[in-house]
Amino acid sequence: MKETLVVALGGNALIKPGEEGHIDEMRKNIHQALLNMAPVVSPDTRVIITHGNGPQVGTLLLKNDAGAQLYQTPSYPLDVLVAETQGEIGYLIESELRNILRVANPDREVVSLVTMVKVNPEDPAFSNPQKRVGKMYSKEEAAKLTREKGWIFAEEIKNGTTGYRRVVPSPEPVDIVNKQAIKSLLEKEFIIITAGGGGIPVYEKEGGLIPVEAVIDKDLASALTAELVGADRFIILTDVRYVYSNYGTPDQKPIKRMTVNEAEEMINRGEFGAGNMLPKIRAAVRFARRTGAQALITDFEGLKQGKGTVIG
């Protein structure tokens, strides 16, 4: 049987440091990222690709705000913006991958799937929202939006300026609404682009799906996808070759292999930064512990060379 892989593309696959996020920039970056993924996108593998969407959602939130202020256009909720970015980024990945496959493997099919992910409405994250989204507002603007929309804000200092940013919940993903469609497409050996940006957060109530304004961690949603399809490997592509112990110090050392227990011990010691490596380690650990399979954290060059940090 062919190996089933779930590959999570990091933000550097879409927008490089110093870039503004124009479509031409993203197309070029995605094309190169997909070329670098040649070792896993092969006739011998079944592949699911997931991706982030942070900057793209941020841009849509700014457009929402500007449209409401300048033209009184209606603002869209966060779940709809996540869906929009899934379509946008999925289209870019699919179109670039199709162009590459026309030469390398013209019979291989690709599909981009707008994906809903279930969360638990009782998740503690809903009573303690911490994920910052959108632009900074003044104290007066934040108070007005709290009155009008019920938004919650947290104080933030950036470049010496104090402002307020909206915070939303980041609940744990518990199921993929579209999992049967994903499994069916996988059986037909489609390359599937799914769970973009962590998925559109919904919960089930009285037989119906209710959207919520929240942000699901993309790495955890990717790990859940890998678990539900029975992936043989879960690959997280980021901008470093290895996970490091004592990162950022003279004693930092690359880690080539970790057991699940070793990784959890390092998490508990606070070895990993909350804003960068920690979510990836948590996702890799969750996948490896629940499935007994291995996760790999590496960069594109490491993927080509068969190098990186193996967990499991």
Q: Is residue 90 part of a domain?
A: yes
Could you say which of 280, 302, 308, 312 is catalytic?
Answer: 280
The active-site residue, picked from 12, 36, 135, 163, is: 12
Output the pLDDT for position 138. 94
Q: Indicate if 11 belongs to the active site.
A: yes
Residue 22 lies in a domain: yes
Q: Does 286 share its domain with 256?
A: yes
pLDDT at site 94: 98
Is there a domain that residue 124 lies in? no
Whole-number pLDDT of residue 103: 87
pLDDT digits (tens, 9 = 90+) for 58-93: 999 999 999 998 999 999 999 999 999 999 999 999
The last residue of one of the domains, among 144, 168, 192, is: 168
Is residue 131 flagged as an active site residue? Answer: yes
One domain for residues 133 and 223: no
Q: Which CATH number belongs to the domain containing residue 266 in this structure?
A: 3.40.1160.10
**Does 192 share its domain with 50?**
yes
**CA-to-CA separations, 174 to 8, 117, 129, 228, in angstroms, rounded:** 18, 7, 18, 10
| Catalytic-labelled residue, pool 63, 131, 135, 179 | 131
* HSE toward the beta carbon, residue 118, CA cutoff 13 A: 13
pLDDT (tens digit, 0 to 9) for every residue of the chain, 312 residues total? Answer: 899 999 999 888 999 989 999 999 999 999 999 999 988 998 899 999 999 999 999 999 999 999 998 999 999 999 999 999 999 999 999 999 999 999 888 999 999 999 999 999 999 999 999 999 999 999 999 999 999 999 999 999 988 999 999 999 999 999 999 999 999 999 999 999 999 999 999 999 987 999 999 999 999 999 999 999 999 999 999 999 999 998 888 999 999 999 999 999 999 999 998 778 999 999 999 999 999 999 999 999 999 999 999 999
| Cβ within 8 Å of residue 270, ≥6 positions away | none
Residue 281's domain comprises 3-119+176-311
296 DSSP β-pair partners: 235, 310
**Predicted local distance difference test score (pLDDT) of residue 1:** 82
Write out the DSSP string of 68-128.
HHHH-PPPPPHHHHHHHHHHHHHHHHHHHHHHHHHHH-TT--EEE---EEEE-TT-GGGGS
Which is the catalytic residue, given 11, 52, 197, 308? 11
Name the active-site residue from 218, 302, 308, 312. 218
102 and 196, same domain (yes or no): yes
Q: Are residues 104 and 228 in the same domain?
A: yes
Residue 161 and residue 210 share a domain:
no
pLDDT of residue 274: 78
Tell me, what's the pLDDT at 79? Answer: 97
Q: Are residues 111 and 162 in the same domain?
A: no
Q: Is 99 a catalytic residue?
A: no
Within 13 Å of residue 58, how many CA atoms lie on the same side as its CB?
A: 13
Q: Please report how the helices 277-291 and 218-228 are oriented relative to each other, as an axis angle in degrees rounded to 10.
A: 20
Residue 207 a catalytic site member = no
Domain count, the chain: 2
Domain co-membership, 254 together with 272: yes
Q: What are the tokens at 278?
A: 């920690």
Q: Are residues 80 and 137 in the same domain?
A: no
- 261 in a structural domain: yes
Residue 245 within a domain: yes
